[in-house]
């Protein structure tokens, strides 16, 4: 029996332009903003099978705050994109940093178990050796 592969979309489908922000009126305050959702989904680039995960973002805004509805639409653009789990975490972090220019940001993508294997990917900005 031949292995079935489902169609996947390329990462060009990811729509970072959907991310919107608003001014942070307390720029001197190091308030930690925490956002999480258990509705993140993309697909495996090899098989096309869905990957579901819980996404957690923590950051301290500098001058811009992430608008949550736009974040939800942005995440939805991953729905049929074939992307490795590690790449998804890094891409989301890069897009969020570009949109918000935070003091620091941490993102954790905790995937559901698939095939008996559990994966959690954590990425941070600024990365080691970079200034914020």
Average per-residue pLDDT in the chain? 92
Catalytic residue among 30, 38, 51, 110: 51
Dihedral, CA atoms, 23, 26, 30, 36, nearest 10 degrees?
Answer: -40
Q: Model confidence over 115-127: pLDDT tens digits?
A: 899 999 999 999 8
CATH 1.20.1250.20 fits 30-125, yes or no: no
Name the burial class of residue 60, with classes exposed (0-12), middle (13-18) and buried (19+) by CB atoms within 10 angstroms of its CB: middle
Q: Model confidence over 73-126: pLDDT tens digits?
A: 999 999 999 999 999 999 999 999 999 999 999 999 999 998 899 999 999 999
- Domain residue spans in the chain? 30-125
Reported pTM: 0.91
* Whether 44 is catalytic: yes
| Cα four-point dihedral sign 69, 85, 10, 79 | negative
Catalytic residue among 11, 30, 36, 44: 44
Q: Which two tokens stand for residue 97?
A: 């940093």
């Amino acid at each position: 029996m031949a292995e079935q592969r489902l169609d996947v979309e390329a990462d060009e489908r990811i729509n970072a332009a959907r991310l919107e922000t608003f001014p942070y009126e307390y720029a001197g305050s190091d308030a930690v903003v925490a956002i999480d959702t258990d509705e993140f989904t993309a697909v495996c680039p090899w098989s096309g099978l869905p990957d579901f995960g819980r996404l957690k973002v923590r950051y301290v805004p500098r001058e811009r705050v992430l608008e949550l509805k736009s974040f939800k639409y942005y995440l939805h653009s991953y729905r049929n994109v074939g992307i490795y789990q590690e790449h998804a975490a890094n891409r989301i972090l890069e897009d969020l940093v570009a949109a918000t220019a935070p003091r620091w940001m941490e993102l954790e993508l905790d995937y559901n178990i698939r095939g008996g294997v559990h994966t959690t990917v954590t990425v941070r900005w600024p990365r080691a050796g970079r200034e914020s």
